Amino acid sequence: MRLVALLSARVPTVGAFAPDELRIGVHTPVEHQARQAILAGAEQLIIRSEMPSPVLVRAAERLSRESGVPVLLVADGPDLTRHIEKDDHVLMIAAQMILPQSAMESLAAASAPALLVTPTEPATEHFERIDGRHVWAGGALLPGDMLLATIDMLGEWDLELTLLRRAVQQGAQRIELAPDLATSGRLVRIDARTDAERALAALSQSGFADEPGQDALSTVLAPVGRYIVAQLTRLEVRPEQLCWAAALLSVLGVTAATADWPRIALIFALVAEAALGLHRGCAQVMLRRRAPLWLQVLVKGASLAVLGVIGGRLGEGSALALAGAGLPLGLIAVQSIADTRDKSPTSAAPLSARSSRWTRLTTAMALTIALVGSLGGMTVEAFILIGLCAFGTIAARLLAPGEKRI
Protein backbone atom coordinates (compact mmCIF):
# COMPACT_ATOMS: atom_id res chain seq x y z
CA MET A 1 0.00 0.00 0.00
CA ARG A 2 1.45 3.30 -1.12
CA LEU A 3 0.68 6.87 -0.13
CA VAL A 4 0.11 8.77 -3.38
CA ALA A 5 -0.40 12.55 -3.37
CA LEU A 6 -2.87 13.89 -5.92
CA LEU A 7 -2.48 17.61 -6.63
CA SER A 8 -3.98 19.97 -9.17
CA ALA A 9 -2.43 22.81 -11.16
CA ARG A 10 -5.63 24.34 -12.42
CA VAL A 11 -5.97 26.31 -15.64
CA PRO A 12 -6.78 29.95 -14.78
CA THR A 13 -10.01 31.57 -15.86
CA VAL A 14 -9.99 34.65 -18.06
CA GLY A 15 -8.80 37.68 -16.11
CA ALA A 16 -7.46 35.65 -13.17
CA PHE A 17 -3.87 35.28 -12.17
CA ALA A 18 -2.03 32.36 -13.70
CA PRO A 19 -0.87 29.84 -11.08
CA ASP A 20 2.75 30.56 -12.03
CA GLU A 21 2.23 34.25 -11.14
CA LEU A 22 1.03 33.56 -7.58
CA ARG A 23 4.05 32.52 -5.54
CA ILE A 24 4.66 31.87 -1.88
CA GLY A 25 8.20 33.15 -1.87
CA VAL A 26 10.00 31.02 -4.46
CA HIS A 27 7.29 28.37 -4.80
CA THR A 28 4.04 28.19 -6.70
CA PRO A 29 1.21 26.82 -4.53
CA VAL A 30 1.33 23.39 -6.20
CA GLU A 31 5.09 23.07 -5.59
CA HIS A 32 4.58 24.03 -1.96
CA GLN A 33 1.85 21.38 -1.68
CA ALA A 34 4.16 18.82 -3.29
CA ARG A 35 6.96 19.52 -0.81
CA GLN A 36 4.49 19.23 2.07
CA ALA A 37 3.23 15.89 0.73
CA ILE A 38 6.79 14.56 0.48
CA LEU A 39 7.43 15.55 4.10
CA ALA A 40 4.17 13.78 5.05
CA GLY A 41 5.47 10.53 3.53
CA ALA A 42 4.08 10.50 -0.02
CA GLU A 43 5.80 7.87 -2.17
CA GLN A 44 4.53 9.26 -5.46
CA LEU A 45 3.20 12.64 -6.58
CA ILE A 46 0.64 13.07 -9.33
CA ILE A 47 -0.16 16.57 -10.57
CA ARG A 48 -3.22 17.06 -12.76
CA SER A 49 -2.77 19.70 -15.44
CA GLU A 50 -4.35 19.86 -18.86
CA MET A 51 -1.66 22.20 -20.19
CA PRO A 52 1.49 21.97 -18.04
CA SER A 53 3.45 25.22 -18.15
CA PRO A 54 7.26 25.23 -18.49
CA VAL A 55 7.46 26.42 -14.88
CA LEU A 56 5.41 23.43 -13.70
CA VAL A 57 7.46 20.97 -15.76
CA ARG A 58 10.72 22.33 -14.34
CA ALA A 59 9.33 22.24 -10.80
CA ALA A 60 8.28 18.60 -11.23
CA GLU A 61 11.71 17.63 -12.51
CA ARG A 62 13.43 19.53 -9.70
CA LEU A 63 11.26 17.92 -7.01
CA SER A 64 11.85 14.44 -8.37
CA ARG A 65 15.59 15.02 -8.56
CA GLU A 66 15.89 16.51 -5.06
CA SER A 67 13.64 14.07 -3.21
CA GLY A 68 13.88 10.86 -5.22
CA VAL A 69 10.06 10.68 -5.20
CA PRO A 70 8.48 10.20 -8.67
CA VAL A 71 6.55 13.30 -9.78
CA LEU A 72 4.12 12.66 -12.65
CA LEU A 73 2.08 15.14 -14.71
CA VAL A 74 -1.24 13.77 -16.00
CA ALA A 75 -3.77 15.44 -18.28
CA ASP A 76 -6.94 13.35 -17.93
CA GLY A 77 -8.71 10.55 -16.08
CA PRO A 78 -7.48 7.59 -18.19
CA ASP A 79 -3.91 8.80 -17.77
CA LEU A 80 -4.45 9.09 -14.01
CA THR A 81 -5.82 5.55 -13.66
CA ARG A 82 -2.59 4.10 -15.07
CA HIS A 83 -0.69 5.33 -12.00
CA ILE A 84 -3.14 4.41 -9.20
CA GLU A 85 -3.61 0.97 -7.64
CA LYS A 86 -6.75 -0.15 -5.80
CA ASP A 87 -4.96 -0.57 -2.49
CA ASP A 88 -3.24 2.84 -2.63
CA HIS A 89 -4.09 5.61 -0.20
CA VAL A 90 -4.56 8.84 -2.15
CA LEU A 91 -3.74 12.10 -0.36
CA MET A 92 -5.80 14.64 -2.33
CA ILE A 93 -5.10 18.34 -1.81
CA ALA A 94 -7.43 20.95 -3.27
CA ALA A 95 -6.05 23.30 -5.91
CA GLN A 96 -4.28 26.37 -4.52
CA MET A 97 -4.84 25.30 -0.88
CA ILE A 98 -2.08 25.76 1.67
CA LEU A 99 -2.45 23.59 4.78
CA PRO A 100 -0.51 23.45 8.04
CA GLN A 101 2.15 20.75 7.78
CA SER A 102 0.95 19.12 11.00
CA ALA A 103 -2.58 18.81 9.54
CA MET A 104 -1.28 17.14 6.40
CA GLU A 105 0.79 14.68 8.44
CA SER A 106 -2.23 13.84 10.64
CA LEU A 107 -4.32 13.25 7.54
CA ALA A 108 -1.65 11.01 5.97
CA ALA A 109 -1.59 8.87 9.13
CA ALA A 110 -5.39 8.51 9.34
CA SER A 111 -7.55 5.65 8.06
CA ALA A 112 -9.09 6.21 4.64
CA PRO A 113 -11.48 7.77 3.89
CA ALA A 114 -10.77 10.89 5.98
CA LEU A 115 -11.32 14.62 5.50
CA LEU A 116 -9.83 17.79 6.92
CA VAL A 117 -12.65 20.09 8.01
CA THR A 118 -12.94 23.39 9.85
CA PRO A 119 -15.94 25.22 11.33
CA THR A 120 -17.85 27.66 9.17
CA GLU A 121 -16.51 31.13 9.94
CA PRO A 122 -16.32 34.42 8.01
CA ALA A 123 -12.69 33.58 7.13
CA THR A 124 -13.70 30.20 5.67
CA GLU A 125 -17.03 31.00 4.02
CA HIS A 126 -15.41 30.74 0.55
CA PHE A 127 -14.34 27.14 1.24
CA GLU A 128 -16.44 24.22 0.02
CA ARG A 129 -19.30 23.57 2.45
CA ILE A 130 -19.93 19.96 3.45
CA ASP A 131 -22.74 20.43 6.01
CA GLY A 132 -24.39 23.11 8.11
CA ARG A 133 -21.45 23.53 10.49
CA HIS A 134 -18.29 22.61 8.57
CA VAL A 135 -16.42 23.42 5.39
CA TRP A 136 -13.77 21.35 3.67
CA ALA A 137 -10.27 22.41 4.72
CA GLY A 138 -8.75 21.24 1.43
CA GLY A 139 -7.34 17.82 2.31
CA ALA A 140 -8.71 14.29 1.92
CA LEU A 141 -7.30 10.78 2.29
CA LEU A 142 -9.13 8.40 -0.04
CA PRO A 143 -8.84 4.70 -0.89
CA GLY A 144 -7.51 4.05 -4.37
CA ASP A 145 -10.52 2.00 -5.39
CA MET A 146 -12.84 4.96 -4.71
CA LEU A 147 -10.77 7.13 -7.04
CA LEU A 148 -10.71 4.49 -9.79
CA ALA A 149 -14.46 3.86 -9.51
CA THR A 150 -15.17 7.58 -9.72
CA ILE A 151 -13.08 8.00 -12.85
CA ASP A 152 -14.79 5.00 -14.48
CA MET A 153 -18.21 6.38 -13.62
CA LEU A 154 -17.73 9.91 -14.96
CA GLY A 155 -16.77 11.48 -18.25
CA GLU A 156 -16.25 15.21 -17.95
CA TRP A 157 -15.88 15.75 -14.22
CA ASP A 158 -14.75 17.96 -11.42
CA LEU A 159 -12.75 15.25 -9.71
CA GLU A 160 -12.08 17.03 -6.42
CA LEU A 161 -15.71 17.88 -5.63
CA THR A 162 -17.04 14.52 -6.83
CA LEU A 163 -14.60 12.64 -4.59
CA LEU A 164 -15.40 15.00 -1.72
CA ARG A 165 -19.12 14.28 -2.00
CA ARG A 166 -18.56 10.53 -2.18
CA ALA A 167 -16.30 10.63 0.90
CA VAL A 168 -18.95 12.59 2.84
CA GLN A 169 -21.66 10.13 1.77
CA GLN A 170 -19.53 7.21 2.98
CA GLY A 171 -19.16 8.78 6.42
CA ALA A 172 -15.47 9.64 6.14
CA GLN A 173 -13.57 10.31 9.36
CA ARG A 174 -13.33 14.06 9.99
CA ILE A 175 -10.19 15.71 11.31
CA GLU A 176 -11.26 19.14 12.56
CA LEU A 177 -8.86 22.07 12.33
CA ALA A 178 -9.08 25.13 14.56
CA PRO A 179 -10.83 28.10 12.90
CA ASP A 180 -7.99 30.48 13.84
CA LEU A 181 -5.76 28.71 11.31
CA ALA A 182 -7.71 30.45 8.54
CA THR A 183 -7.58 33.87 10.16
CA SER A 184 -3.83 33.57 10.78
CA GLY A 185 -3.05 32.56 7.19
CA ARG A 186 -1.84 29.05 7.98
CA LEU A 187 -4.91 27.63 6.20
CA VAL A 188 -5.54 29.62 3.04
CA ARG A 189 -6.58 29.28 -0.57
CA ILE A 190 -4.31 31.24 -2.89
CA ASP A 191 -6.64 33.17 -5.18
CA ALA A 192 -4.83 36.53 -5.16
CA ARG A 193 -1.47 38.02 -4.28
CA THR A 194 -2.80 39.12 -0.89
CA ASP A 195 -3.49 35.45 -0.09
CA ALA A 196 0.07 34.53 -1.05
CA GLU A 197 1.41 37.31 1.19
CA ARG A 198 -0.69 36.08 4.13
CA ALA A 199 0.56 32.53 3.62
CA LEU A 200 4.18 33.71 3.44
CA ALA A 201 3.77 35.78 6.62
CA ALA A 202 2.30 32.78 8.47
CA LEU A 203 5.09 30.49 7.26
CA SER A 204 7.72 33.06 8.31
CA GLN A 205 6.10 33.14 11.74
CA SER A 206 6.40 29.36 12.06
CA GLY A 207 9.98 29.51 10.73
CA PHE A 208 11.00 31.11 14.03
CA ALA A 209 8.88 28.98 16.32
CA ASP A 210 10.31 27.86 19.64
CA GLU A 211 13.00 25.22 19.27
CA PRO A 212 15.36 23.53 21.69
CA GLY A 213 18.55 25.57 21.83
CA GLN A 214 16.96 29.02 21.62
CA ASP A 215 18.27 31.67 23.97
CA ALA A 216 17.09 35.07 25.15
CA LEU A 217 18.82 36.81 22.24
CA SER A 218 17.06 34.73 19.57
CA THR A 219 13.73 35.14 21.37
CA VAL A 220 14.03 38.93 21.52
CA LEU A 221 15.19 39.20 17.90
CA ALA A 222 12.60 36.71 16.54
CA PRO A 223 10.32 39.45 15.04
CA VAL A 224 13.31 40.88 13.15
CA GLY A 225 14.28 37.39 12.01
CA ARG A 226 10.76 36.68 10.73
CA TYR A 227 10.79 39.91 8.71
CA ILE A 228 14.20 39.16 7.21
CA VAL A 229 13.20 35.58 6.35
CA ALA A 230 10.10 36.85 4.55
CA GLN A 231 12.17 39.36 2.56
CA LEU A 232 14.83 36.77 1.68
CA THR A 233 12.11 34.39 0.53
CA ARG A 234 10.57 37.07 -1.70
CA LEU A 235 14.03 37.73 -3.17
CA GLU A 236 14.30 33.99 -3.93
CA VAL A 237 17.41 33.55 -1.78
CA ARG A 238 17.97 29.81 -1.44
CA PRO A 239 18.55 28.38 2.06
CA GLU A 240 21.70 26.61 0.87
CA GLN A 241 23.19 29.99 -0.10
CA LEU A 242 22.81 31.21 3.48
CA CYS A 243 24.22 27.93 4.72
CA TRP A 244 27.46 28.24 2.75
CA ALA A 245 27.70 31.96 3.52
CA ALA A 246 27.66 31.06 7.22
CA ALA A 247 30.47 28.56 6.67
CA LEU A 248 32.59 31.09 4.77
CA LEU A 249 32.06 33.79 7.41
CA SER A 250 33.05 31.32 10.13
CA VAL A 251 36.34 30.58 8.41
CA LEU A 252 36.98 34.32 7.97
CA GLY A 253 36.23 34.83 11.66
CA VAL A 254 38.81 32.26 12.75
CA THR A 255 41.33 33.75 10.31
CA ALA A 256 40.77 37.25 11.70
CA ALA A 257 41.11 35.98 15.28
CA THR A 258 44.46 34.32 14.56
CA ALA A 259 45.60 37.57 12.87
CA ASP A 260 44.82 39.43 16.14
CA TRP A 261 41.83 41.35 14.83
CA PRO A 262 39.45 40.45 17.66
CA ARG A 263 36.59 42.82 16.87
CA ILE A 264 36.51 41.90 13.19
CA ALA A 265 36.66 38.22 14.16
CA LEU A 266 33.73 38.58 16.55
CA ILE A 267 31.67 40.41 13.92
CA PHE A 268 32.39 37.72 11.32
CA ALA A 269 31.48 34.95 13.77
CA LEU A 270 28.29 36.71 14.92
CA VAL A 271 27.13 37.33 11.34
CA ALA A 272 27.84 33.66 10.57
CA GLU A 273 25.59 32.64 13.47
CA ALA A 274 22.89 34.98 12.18
CA ALA A 275 23.19 33.54 8.67
CA LEU A 276 22.82 30.02 10.06
CA GLY A 277 19.68 31.06 11.97
CA LEU A 278 18.21 32.69 8.86
CA HIS A 279 19.04 29.53 6.93
CA ARG A 280 16.95 27.49 9.38
CA GLY A 281 14.03 29.91 9.03
CA CYS A 282 14.20 29.99 5.23
CA ALA A 283 14.53 26.20 5.05
CA GLN A 284 11.37 25.78 7.11
CA VAL A 285 9.43 28.34 5.04
CA MET A 286 10.60 26.84 1.73
CA LEU A 287 10.32 23.24 2.98
CA ARG A 288 13.94 22.49 2.14
CA ARG A 289 16.48 20.34 3.95
CA ARG A 290 18.43 22.06 6.68
CA ALA A 291 22.19 22.40 6.67
CA PRO A 292 24.04 19.12 7.25
CA LEU A 293 25.04 18.54 10.85
CA TRP A 294 28.74 18.83 10.09
CA LEU A 295 28.26 22.34 8.72
CA GLN A 296 26.27 23.43 11.78
CA VAL A 297 29.05 22.03 13.96
CA LEU A 298 31.60 23.93 11.83
CA VAL A 299 29.85 27.27 12.43
CA LYS A 300 29.41 26.66 16.17
CA GLY A 301 32.94 25.31 16.50
CA ALA A 302 34.37 28.31 14.66
CA SER A 303 32.52 30.64 17.04
CA LEU A 304 34.04 28.86 20.03
CA ALA A 305 37.45 28.92 18.33
CA VAL A 306 37.23 32.71 17.88
CA LEU A 307 36.34 33.14 21.55
CA GLY A 308 39.08 30.68 22.52
CA VAL A 309 41.78 32.53 20.57
CA ILE A 310 40.74 35.89 22.02
CA GLY A 311 40.52 34.44 25.53
CA GLY A 312 43.92 32.77 25.10
CA ARG A 313 45.54 36.09 24.26
CA LEU A 314 43.91 37.69 27.29
CA GLY A 315 45.37 34.91 29.49
CA GLU A 316 48.96 35.91 28.50
CA GLY A 317 50.27 32.43 29.16
CA SER A 318 48.85 32.05 32.65
CA ALA A 319 47.45 28.55 33.11
CA LEU A 320 44.82 29.78 35.57
CA ALA A 321 43.67 32.56 33.26
CA LEU A 322 43.58 30.21 30.28
CA ALA A 323 41.47 27.73 32.26
CA GLY A 324 39.14 30.54 33.35
CA ALA A 325 38.64 31.61 29.74
CA GLY A 326 38.36 28.09 28.33
CA LEU A 327 36.06 26.45 30.87
CA PRO A 328 32.95 28.52 30.00
CA LEU A 329 33.49 27.75 26.33
CA GLY A 330 33.65 24.06 27.13
CA LEU A 331 30.39 24.33 29.07
CA ILE A 332 28.74 26.07 26.10
CA ALA A 333 29.89 23.25 23.82
CA VAL A 334 28.55 20.59 26.20
CA GLN A 335 25.16 22.32 26.41
CA SER A 336 24.97 22.58 22.61
CA ILE A 337 25.56 18.83 22.38
CA ALA A 338 22.90 18.19 25.04
CA ASP A 339 20.39 20.39 23.21
CA THR A 340 21.08 18.53 19.96
CA ARG A 341 20.50 15.16 21.64
CA ASP A 342 17.29 16.26 23.40
CA LYS A 343 15.40 17.85 20.51
CA SER A 344 12.48 15.43 20.67
CA PRO A 345 9.56 17.23 22.36
CA THR A 346 7.99 13.88 23.23
CA SER A 347 10.92 12.54 25.20
CA ALA A 348 10.32 12.19 28.90
CA ALA A 349 11.46 15.34 30.71
CA PRO A 350 14.18 16.29 28.20
CA LEU A 351 17.05 18.24 29.68
CA SER A 352 16.62 21.02 27.14
CA ALA A 353 13.05 21.54 28.38
CA ARG A 354 14.34 22.13 31.89
CA SER A 355 16.70 24.88 30.81
CA SER A 356 14.74 28.04 30.11
CA ARG A 357 15.70 30.02 27.06
CA TRP A 358 16.21 33.00 29.37
CA THR A 359 19.05 31.27 31.25
CA ARG A 360 20.62 29.44 28.29
CA LEU A 361 24.03 30.64 27.07
CA THR A 362 24.65 29.88 23.40
CA THR A 363 27.60 30.67 21.15
CA ALA A 364 25.69 33.61 19.65
CA MET A 365 25.01 35.08 23.10
CA ALA A 366 28.64 34.62 24.14
CA LEU A 367 29.83 36.32 20.94
CA THR A 368 27.47 39.24 21.57
CA ILE A 369 28.74 39.70 25.13
CA ALA A 370 32.35 39.54 23.94
CA LEU A 371 31.75 42.01 21.09
CA VAL A 372 29.97 44.54 23.30
CA GLY A 373 32.76 44.25 25.86
CA SER A 374 35.44 44.63 23.19
CA LEU A 375 33.79 47.74 21.73
CA GLY A 376 33.60 49.22 25.23
CA GLY A 377 37.20 48.38 26.08
CA MET A 378 36.14 45.78 28.66
CA THR A 379 37.06 42.48 27.00
CA VAL A 380 38.31 40.94 30.26
CA GLU A 381 35.11 41.89 32.04
CA ALA A 382 33.10 40.46 29.14
CA PHE A 383 34.83 37.07 29.52
CA ILE A 384 34.15 37.16 33.26
CA LEU A 385 30.47 37.77 32.48
CA ILE A 386 30.49 34.86 29.99
CA GLY A 387 31.89 32.64 32.73
CA LEU A 388 29.21 33.73 35.19
CA CYS A 389 26.47 33.17 32.58
CA ALA A 390 27.85 29.70 31.83
CA PHE A 391 27.76 28.90 35.56
CA GLY A 392 24.17 30.19 35.80
CA THR A 393 23.12 28.13 32.77
CA ILE A 394 24.47 24.89 34.17
CA ALA A 395 23.00 25.67 37.61
CA ALA A 396 19.57 26.31 36.10
CA ARG A 397 19.77 23.05 34.19
CA LEU A 398 20.84 20.97 37.19
CA LEU A 399 18.60 22.63 39.81
CA ALA A 400 15.43 22.83 37.73
CA PRO A 401 12.50 21.07 39.41
CA GLY A 402 11.90 17.57 38.12
CA GLU A 403 8.70 16.31 36.55
CA LYS A 404 5.82 16.16 39.00
CA ARG A 405 4.74 12.67 39.91
CA ILE A 406 1.32 11.68 41.17
pLDDT given at position 272 = 92
pLDDT given at position 404 = 47
Against a cut of 0.85, is the pTM above it? no
Q: Who's near 206: CB < 8 A, 6+ residues apart?
A: 186, 284, 285
Give the integer Cα–Cα distance in Å for 220 and 386.
Answer: 19
- Which has more pLDDT, 340 or 31? 31
pLDDT given at position 113 = 87
**Closest to 30 (Cα-Cα) out of 2, 78, 62, 3:** 62
Q: Average pLDDT for residues 48-71, to the nearest whole number?
A: 85
- Which has more pLDDT, 216 or 226? 226
Query: What does the DSSP 8-state code read for residue 49?
Result: -
Helix (H, G, I), strand (E, B) or coil at 222: helix
Average pLDDT value over all residues in the chain: 78
CATH fold of 208-399, please? Four Helix Bundle (Hemerythrin (Met), subunit A) (1.20.120)
Return phi, psi of residue 52, to 5°: -60, 130
pLDDT given at position 185 = 81
pLDDT given at position 32 = 87
Helix (H, G, I), strand (E, B) or coil at 360: coil
pLDDT band with cut points at 50, 70 and 90 for residue 248: very high
What is the tens place of the pLDDT at every residue in 227-244?
Answer: 888 778 777 777 888 888
pLDDT given at position 255 = 93
> Does residue 349 register a pLDDT over 50?
no
First to last CA, the chain: 43
pLDDT given at position 271 = 92
What residues does 89 pair with on adjacent strands?
3, 143
- Identify whether the C-beta of residue 276 lies closer than 8 Å to the C-beta of residue 292: no
Domains of the chain, by residue range, sit at 3-184, 208-399
Q: Which CATH number fits domain 3-184: 3.40.50.12500, 3.90.550.10, 1.20.120.420, 3.20.20.70?
A: 3.90.550.10
DSSP 305-344: HHHHHHHHHHHTT-HHHHHHHHHHHHHHHHHHHHHHHT--
Q: Average pLDDT for residues 186-202, to the nearest whole number?
A: 82
Give the integer Cα–Cα distance in Å for 324 and 322.
Answer: 5
